[in-house]
Amino acid sequence: MSETPKKSDAALVDLDRLNQWSQLGDLPGEGPVESLTRLTGGAQNLLFTMRRADGTELVLRRPGRYAGPEAAGPFIRESRVLTALAGTGVPHPRLYGYSIDDSVIGVPFSVLEKIDGFMPRGQLPGTYATDVEWRRSLAFELVGGAAKLAAVDPDAVGLADLSKTEDWAQRQVARYLRNLHSYRDTQGYSETESPLVDAISDWLKANAPGEVHIGFVHGDLQFANVMFKHDSPHLAAIVDWEMTSLGDPLLDLAWILTAWREAGDPPGSDPQLQPWDGMPSRAELVEHYGKLTGRDTSGFRWFQVLACFRLASLLEGSYVRSLNGKMDAALGRGLHDYAAWLWTLAAQEVGL
């Protein structure tokens, strides 16, 4: 993440009110918060470097500008997860405090450790751009992070109640199919809906695994939600934990691989990183995950198709919001086009 001062930042977090927060004295550092500098990299939430009088830097995270009453839920969930992960082998930013009391700064917020690293998106920096082995390490380290999360027992860290687990595989398909069908009521959607929606959902229902392994699922594990070290090709932290739930951790691996690109993929979608040459294949990464976790990955195709199905449903939801005037129309169309690519990738996986 990089820092980008913005003239409107002062309106997003009132320093005077923040410095009256009762938990401020429990955070690292001394003295009042003297400055907040906007960080790029947040999507749903806004991030700031929070600098105290003695020079200590932390990260303050708050919802977007138009946060509604539902904004507290994700902060509570993320705070529970980060607290539970403390002391585990999962690389994550340490949680120092949070508040869902709107009287502090007007919205829920949390204060986190500032990670020394960068989010790999677009043009890769430094040695990552010139050394193919560093780029390959990006991939294996990301999958290794997923494996470390999969090794954490929710019961052992007190989060067995984080979400429902009964009939997990069947509920995934039903939930997102219900959402997709509801989008048809929006004017302008049905004409551009993929004809593959019902066919892929039928395949998922017919091929659902009889048994799944229940563990933590980050829910949005991708390059945009991890940070790597600048001076060595190693994972520094996984961030953005508000979508974490209980389910089969193979879904996190599948989610990572929806963003992968390799020979034979449908045309029309470029890699998230440049340069991409030398990156391992999906098959190599699935094999690597299996070795790290001891999981049988012979049924991984179902999870790969589910990840495409689930992500496409979320993207289509954003497209519907754009049709309803609640999101930029061009952005919504771009997400709809990406969903169309995911339907094609899923269809290719199952031979439709």
> Hey, where are the domains in the chain?
9-113, 122-350
CATH-assigned architecture of domain 9-113 = 2-Layer Sandwich (3.30)
Residues in a beta bridge with 59: 49, 112
Q: Which residue has the tokens 């009964």?
A: 166
For the chain, give the percent of residues with pLDDT over 70: 94
Q: CB-side exposure of 123: number of CA atoms within 13 Å?
A: 2
Alpha-carbon 24 to chain mean position: 28
Q: What is the CA radius of gyration of the chain?
A: 21
Segment (H or E) for 115: none
Q: From CA 28, how far away is CA 58, in angstroms rounded?
A: 8
Instruction: Locate 75 and state its tokens.
Output: 């902060």
Q: H-type helices in the chain, by residue range?
A: 9-12, 15-18, 72-85, 102-105, 126-130, 132-150, 168-182, 197-206, 250-258, 282-293, 300-323, 329-350
Give Cα separations from 48 to 12, 105, 263, 273 (angstroms).
10, 14, 39, 25
185 conformational bin, left if phi > 0, alpha if psi -120 to 50, beta if neither: alpha
Looking at residue 310, its amino acid is R
pLDDT mean values, one per 10 residues, the chain (352 residues): 47 87 95 91 77 97 73 89 95 95 89 95 95 96 98 96 94 94 94 95 95 96 95 96 96 97 94 95 98 96 98 96 91 95 96 88
State whether residue 2 is helix, strand or coil. coil
- pLDDT tens digits, residue range 161-185? 999 999 999 999 999 999 999 999 9
Segment 256-297, tens digit of pLDDT: 999 999 999 999 999 999 999 999 999 999 999 999 999 999
Beta bridge partners of 306: none
| Architecture per CATH, 122-350 | Alpha-Beta Complex (3.90)
What pLDDT shows up at residue 40?
A: 72
